[in-house]
Amino acid sequence: MSTTLSLDGIATLSHWGVIRARGADAASFLHGQLTSDVAQLGADQARLAGYCSAKGRLLASFVVWKPAPDELLLACSADLLAPTLKRLSMFVLRAQCKLSDASAEFVLHGLAGASARAWLGSAAMSEPWQRIEHAGGSLVRLPDADGHERYLWAAAAGTPAPALPVLSLDAWREGEVASAVPRVEAATVDQFVPQMLNFELVGGVDFKKGCYPGQEIVARSQYRGTIKRRSFLFESAVPASAGQEIFHSADPGQPAGLVVNAAGPRVLAEVKLAALDGGSLHLGAVDGPVLVRQPMPYDVDIDVTA
pLDDT at 223: 85
Amino acid (1-letter code) at residue 292: V
DSSP-assigned letter for residue 157: T
Q: Calculate the alpha carbon distances from 48 to 199, 274, 279 in Å.
A: 9, 28, 34
The answer to whether residues 227 and 302 touch, using CB atoms and an 8 Å cutoff, is no
Give the model confidence (pLDDT) of 116-162 as tens digits.
Answer: 999 999 999 999 999 999 999 999 999 999 999 999 999 999 999 99
Question: pTM (2 decimals)?
Answer: 0.96
Per-residue model confidence as pLDDT tens digits over 156-183: 999 999 999 999 999 999 999 999 999 9
pLDDT over 80 at 263, yes or no = yes
For residues 143 and 7, what is the distance between their CA atoms, to the nearest angstrom? 13
Structure confidence at residue 303 as a pLDDT band (50, 70, 90): low
Residues 221 and 223: their CA atoms lie apart, in Å, by: 6
Q: Return d(Cα 137, Cα 124) in angstroms, integer.
A: 14
Q: Which domains does the chain have, with CATH numbers?
A: 9-179 (3.30.1360.120), 192-293 (2.40.30.160)
Average pLDDT of 246-269? 97
Buried b / exposed e along 259-296 (16+ C-beta atoms within 10 A)? bbbbbbbbbbbbbbbbbbeeeebbbbebebbebbebeb
- Is 47 in a helix, a strand, or coil? strand
**pLDDT at 305 exceeding the cut of 60:** no
Average per-residue pLDDT in the chain? 95
